[in-house]
């Protein structure tokens, strides 16, 4: 099992550009989520999904979109990148919404 | 909304010394999870506590859940350089769909 796979590992964007962070898991987990991690701020939930076709907002959803068309994939889209979105992004999945989370290796995003 | 306080924010110890981080909530928790993140890495699940007064051990790590289920601690006995990293607690937000995370305790170990 590959676990949770995130791509890319690093990305540099200019302000206003759009991009999609990819996340895939092969553990047949129902619950998937996206976090951003900034120094001194800990982990903040952006969006989450409790199953295919179902998504909901987390703590800091503005500027991000998600979709969950399959159980395996949960992409995060930045519609118009802003410098405030410079961060490390983690995708995580779990068997259910109160089970331990399995994290991907993260994407380090810089917006200039 | 629900918040969880984690202290201390930083801890610097000599190798061989003990280390403890605390996680405190103003509300009763259904469960608490602990994660470790090595520098440059991703959070890795350590343990989940569910029962009041629960104590679980993993080698040199001891996890406790308070009797009132409002606080928890992670204690490391005789730290090693491999213990370096940030330790996070995470608690159920109450609607059973989101985790609320502490800000973490960063542990540095001098060899």
Write out pLDDT tens, residues A75-106. Answer: 999 999 999 999 999 999 999 877 899 999 99
Cβ neighbour number for residue A89 with a 10 Å cutoff: 22
Per-residue pLDDT at B96: 56
Residue B78 near residue B61 (C-beta atoms within 8 A): no
Phi, psi of A84 (to 5 degrees): -65, -15
Q: pLDDT per residue over A12-67, tens digit each?
A: 999 999 999 999 999 999 999 999 999 888 899 999 999 999 999 999 999 999 99
Which residues in B lie closer than 8 A to residue A98 (C-beta atoms)? 30-31, 92, 96
Nearest to B67 by CA among B53, B86, B88: B53
The answer to whether residue B94 scores a pLDDT higher than 70 is: no
Cβ neighbour number for residue A1 with a 10 Å cutoff: 8
**A 27-86 residues with CB < 8 A to B:** 40-45, 48, 50, 56, 58-59
Residue A107 near residue A7 (C-beta atoms within 8 A): yes
């Amino acid at each position: 099992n590959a676990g949770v796979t995130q791509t890319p590992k690093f990305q540099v964007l200019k302000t206003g550009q759009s991009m999609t962070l990819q996340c895939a898991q092969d553990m047949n987990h129902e619950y998937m989520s996206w976090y951003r991690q900034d120094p001194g701020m800990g982990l903040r939930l952006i969006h989450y999904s409790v199953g295919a076709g179902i998504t909901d907002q987390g703590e800091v959803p503005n500027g991000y979109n998600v979709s969950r068309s399959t159980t395996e994939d949960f992409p995060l889209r930045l519609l118009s990148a802003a410098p405030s979105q410079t961060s490390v992004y983690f995708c995580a999945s779990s068997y259910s919404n109160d089970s331990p989370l399995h994290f991907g290796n993260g994407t380090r995003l810089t917006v200039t | 909304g629900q918040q969880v306080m984690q202290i201390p924010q930083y801890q610097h110890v000599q190798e061989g010394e003990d280390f403890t981080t605390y996680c405190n909530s103003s509300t009763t928790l259904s469960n608490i999870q602990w994660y470790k993140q090595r520098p440059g890495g991703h959070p890795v699940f350590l343990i989940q506590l569910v029962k009041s007064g629960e104590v679980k051990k993993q080698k040199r790590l001891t996890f406790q859940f308070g009797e009132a289920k409002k606080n928890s601690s992670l204690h490391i006995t005789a730290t090693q350089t491999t213990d370096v990293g940030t330790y996070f607690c995470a608690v159920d937000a109450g609607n059973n769909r989101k985790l609320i995370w502490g800000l973490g305790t960063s542990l540095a170990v001098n060899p």
